[in-house]
């Protein structure tokens, strides 16, 4: 999956990834749940230099439990979550994979913040289970 392109709900914001990904991450933290409007978010950590975002976006900064500022980027028109950045990720950023049809077939390797997982959601078989982000 090289050069894969995804888009927000309205199609005005596109995301192009130059990287290949063999696995993705599920996050159950409160911020990811609220950003996705669901029980969790699905993400990959992509090197910033390999991500191209085109179209109208807005940013929202929030303090994480770690004390780090997390910058959430979303489409300015439809509000779809696109990415989030934090110093904890170094030179990478979390890209929300729900904006890419191709990620439906990429396995989940890690679940983060499982302490916050909804009781009706079973653990992903074979995925590492982390209480928080390390």
Query: In which element (H, E) is residue 33 found?
Result: helix 30-36
60 part of a folded domain = yes
pLDDT attached to residue 130: 83
pLDDT, tens digit (0-9, with 9 covering 90-100), for 96-110: 999 999 899 999 999
pLDDT, tens digit (0-9, with 9 covering 90-100), for 58-99: 999 999 877 889 999 999 999 999 999 999 899 999 999 999
Mean pLDDT for all residues in the chain: 91
Does 2 score more than 60 pLDDT?
no
Does 132 score more than 80 pLDDT?
no
The domain of 116 spans 4-129
Q: List residues bridging with 5 in a β-sheet.
A: 16
Q: How does strand 41-47 pair with strand 108-112? A: unpaired
24 part of a folded domain = yes
134 part of a folded domain = no
Q: Distance between CA 67 and CA 36 in Å, rounded?
A: 21
79 part of a folded domain = yes
Q: What is the CATH number of the domain that holds 114?
A: 2.170.150.70
Q: How many domains does the chain have?
A: 1
**CA dihedral defined by 71, 77, 78, 81, rounded to 10 degrees?**
-20
Q: Distance between CA 40 and CA 16 in Å, rounded?
A: 23
């Amino acid at each position: 999956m090289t050069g894969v392109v995804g888009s927000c709900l309205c199609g005005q914001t596109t995301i192009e990834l130059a990287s290949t990904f063999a696995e993705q991450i599920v996050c159950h933290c409160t911020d990811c749940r609220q950003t996705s409007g669901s029980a969790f978010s699905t993400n990959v950590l992509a090197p910033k230099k390999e991500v191209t975002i085109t179209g109208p976006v807005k940013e929202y900064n929030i303090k994480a439990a770690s004390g780090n500022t997390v910058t959430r980027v979303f489409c300015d028109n439809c509000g779809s979550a696109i990415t989030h950045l934090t110093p904890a990720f170094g030179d990478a950023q979390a890209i929300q994979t729900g904006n890419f049809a191709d990620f439906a077939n990429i396995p989940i390797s890690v679940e983060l913040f499982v302490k916050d997982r909804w009781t009706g959601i079973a653990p992903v078989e074979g995925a590492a289970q982390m209480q928080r982000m390390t």
